[in-house]
Structure 1
Amino acid sequence: MSWIREGELNLIERISANILKAGPMPKHVAFIMDGNRRFARKKQMERQEGHMQGFNKLAETLRWCKNLNIQEVTVYAFSIENFKRSQNEVDELMVLAKQKFEKLLEERENLEKHGVCIRVLGDLNMLPLDLQQLIAKAVVSTKTHNKCFLNVCFAYTSRYEITNAVREMAWGVEQGQIKASDVSEALLSECLYSNNSPNPDLLIRTSGVRLSDFLLWQTSHSSVFQSVLWQEYSFWNLCEAILQYQLNHTSIQKARDLHREHQAFVQLEADRACVAEHLQHHGNGKPADARRRQEALQHYTTCREERIHDFLEALQNRRDSYYNDLLSDAVVA
């Protein structure tokens, strides 16, 4: 089954979509696709078939999102917690993932036609080497596409992602690229796996009321829980979730604006404290006047931003090297 399905909405769906698009639309939607095993039991089918049906529903959902002008989709494909399942089921899921990424690579022309960029978020070192290499090919071959984005969270939990971001900042401090005083909420956000994406406008969880350790940092303002199993998810379920987003849009935007303002205030106060400490140590005991304090603050802020820019560039180069090394090893093999 293709990752990218062609085809327009039917007449009733198009009319409904146009009505929705008259209001504020989410540009980035995240999905917790829950219910695969329960669906299999309900339909008395093999567990693997339930997972296969789940992938087919993803392809269908991506088509709906494309027709609704939703430019970015993030899906929870495989949690680190899933490694605790039986070895047989884990092996089945790894085989299915390998098949689907092989299929994706066969569709590169179609992905290029639609401008689809594939990103995989998680600790790929936990995966079999052949699957890592397939993922690397998919990511590298589509990284220049910029019309729409599909982020697949694989070997992922949010707590692990946040912990890894802290490790990345610690690495930057150890390397002398940034100072301990540069560490902030904003910098941590830039060190997450999802740093190249805006935070989701809407998080949809099917068949449950838990976030399951998914995008906890990024989705604090907009979540919708729907009782339907993922395989039974419909265009109308998606419309319902978008409508809920629209009804709460004003309060969501207000909360986000307040958070951004608070972040800016905290950063400014931190910069002022660093500058005040510096002036105290280098001012020969004389208090600095307002002009000198302002000039010192501007200089400090500029230097901090340059350090952070260079650090994030080095971090991105390190991540790119991981994929390139995987591809080189695949060629040698």
Structure 2
Amino acid sequence: MVVRRGLQWIYNKIVAKAQQCILAVLAAGPVPQHIAFVMDGNRRYARSHNKKIQQGHSEGFVALHKILDVCLHMNIHCVSVYAFSIENFKRPREEVDALMALMEEKLLELCSKGDLLDEYGVRLNIIGRVELLPKNVQRAVRKAEKTTRHNNRAILNICVPYTSRDEMTTAVEETVRAGLAFRIDPDTFFTKEEVDRRIMTTARGSPPLDILVRTSGVQRLSDYLLWQCCENTQIQFTPTYWPNFGLFDFIPIILDYQRKIWSRRISG
């Protein structure tokens, strides 16, 4: 038993060192500043492994922690994840309640001292209709955002509860109200740039979106970051369920991004 544990420790150290070398090589090339994930496949992963749906979501949060670590090692400045759609409130009550409890737990865990966000100086933004969340989850949101407010090295946007159409509608409404309040000629004030300033990710300091990744093999955007990915965003679909998504699923995505950037620079 002692020998086995010793061999496992050595194996883990070798794997960790190899991953660090891989990330260092990737980071030497063009690195995206903002990458977003549709974390899809938690429920199908759970069913395929004869687990409860809640356990699939829980393992999805573990996968988020791991891939966030990879992104931060590569100096990717901003990561956005689709955690819960406004439409997801229509799911069975038991599943929604379990997700809300898990969300409260993980938000408080993410902002605890010594966690990944604290280590890398990551500011946490909750993007979406926070007022639709249960009161206890709203309190966890406020605490998590307050705890990380002064971090300025990187950004993690957790979109919950969120839909892009709601985000765009809200941004347009705010632009119209601002124009009316200051009695500005709508022909000069109501522009794409003014709406973009009020898009939630932009308003919270996120750079333009470089890559959007959806896991689980489903090839649709599901009302996620539609405004942000309409220009110069590379959209990637991978068959891997989100709880299984890791470094070796991520490498081809980054290499493809770097290949396209290099191609543009050569042709330009």
Same fold by TM-score, threshold 0.5 exceeded? yes
Structure 1 length-normalised TM: 0.70
In structure 1, C-alpha distance between the alignment counterparts of 2:259 and 2:78, rounded to whole Å: 21
Match of 1:80 in 2: 86
Q: CA deviation at 1:175?
A: 1.8
2:37–2:80 Cα contact (<8 Å) kept: yes
Give the CA RMSD over aligned residues.
2.3
Match of 2:133 in 1: 127
Aligned residue for 1:223, secondary structure, equals: strand
Specify whether residues 251 and 179 from structure 1 end up closer, same or farther in structure 2 by C-alpha distance, changes over 3 A only: farther
In structure 2, C-alpha distance between the alignment counterparts of 1:8 and 1:68, rounded to whole Å: 19
2:112–2:118 Cα contact (<8 Å) kept: no
1:84-107: CA deviations, max 9, x gaps? 111111111111111112223433
1:201 corresponds, among 205, 210, 222, to: 210
In structure 2, C-alpha distance between the alignment counterparts of 1:244 and 1:202, rounded to whole Å: 10
Higher alpha-carbon deviation: 100-109 or 233-242: 100-109
Aligned-partner residue type, residue 223 of structure 2:
D
2:58 corresponds, among 39, 43, 52, to: 52
Structure 2 length-normalised TM: 0.86
Which of structures 1 and 2 has the bigger CA Rg? 1
1:30–1:74 Cα contact (<8 Å) kept: yes
Aligned residue for 1:248, secondary structure, equals: helix
Specify whether residues 174 and 111 from structure 1 end up closer, same or farther in structure 2 by C-alpha distance, changes over 3 A only: same
Q: CA deviation at 1:22?
A: 2.9
Specify whether residues 173 and 89 from structure 1 end up closer, same or farther in structure 2 by C-alpha distance, changes over 3 A only: same
Match of 2:167 in 1: 161
1:212 paired to 2:222: yes
1:116 corresponds, among 122, 142, 162, to: 122
Specify whether residues 78 and 248 from structure 1 end up closer, same or farther in structure 2 by C-alpha distance, changes over 3 A only: same
Q: How does 1:8-27 map to 2 (within 5 A)?
A: 10-27=16-33
Q: CA deviation at 1:226?
A: 0.6
1:27–1:201 Cα contact (<8 Å) kept: yes
Match of 1:263 in 2: none
Match of 1:189 in 2: 196
Aligned-partner residue type, residue 127 of structure 1:
L
Match of 1:40 in 2: 46
Specify whether residues 133 and 38 from structure 1 end up closer, same or farther in structure 2 by C-alpha distance, changes over 3 A only: same
Task: Give percent identity, aligned residues only.
Answer: 37
In structure 1, C-alpha distance between the alignment counterparts of 2:251 and 2:72, rounded to whole Å: 13
Specify whether residues 159 and 252 from structure 1 end up closer, same or farther in structure 2 by C-alpha distance, changes over 3 A only: farther
In structure 2, C-alpha distance between the alignment counterparts of 1:117 and 1:18, rounded to whole Å: 23
1:222–1:252 Cα contact (<8 Å) kept: no
Specify whether residues 159 and 108 from structure 1 end up closer, same or farther in structure 2 by C-alpha distance, changes over 3 A only: farther
2:128–2:160 Cα contact (<8 Å) kept: yes
Aligned residue for 1:166, secondary structure, equals: helix
Q: CA deviation at 1:26?
A: 0.8
Q: CA deviation at 1:112?
A: 3.8
Aligned residue for 2:125, secondary structure, equals: strand
Specify whether residues 88 and 137 from structure 1 end up closer, same or farther in structure 2 by C-alpha distance, changes over 3 A only: same
Q: Which runs of 5+ in 2 are unaligned?
A: 1-12
Aligned residue for 1:69, secondary structure, equals: coil
Aligned-partner residue type, residue 200 of structure 1:
L
Match of 2:97 in 1: 91
Aligned residue for 2:240, secondary structure, equals: coil
Alignment: residue pair count:
249
Aligned residue for 1:29, secondary structure, equals: strand
Greater relative contact order (CA < 8 Å, ≥ 6 in sequence): 2
In structure 2, C-alpha distance between the alignment counterparts of 1:163 and 1:206, rounded to whole Å: 27
In structure 1, C-alpha distance between the alignment counterparts of 2:115 and 2:20, rounded to whole Å: 27
2:110–2:116 Cα contact (<8 Å) kept: no
Aligned residue for 1:53, secondary structure, equals: helix
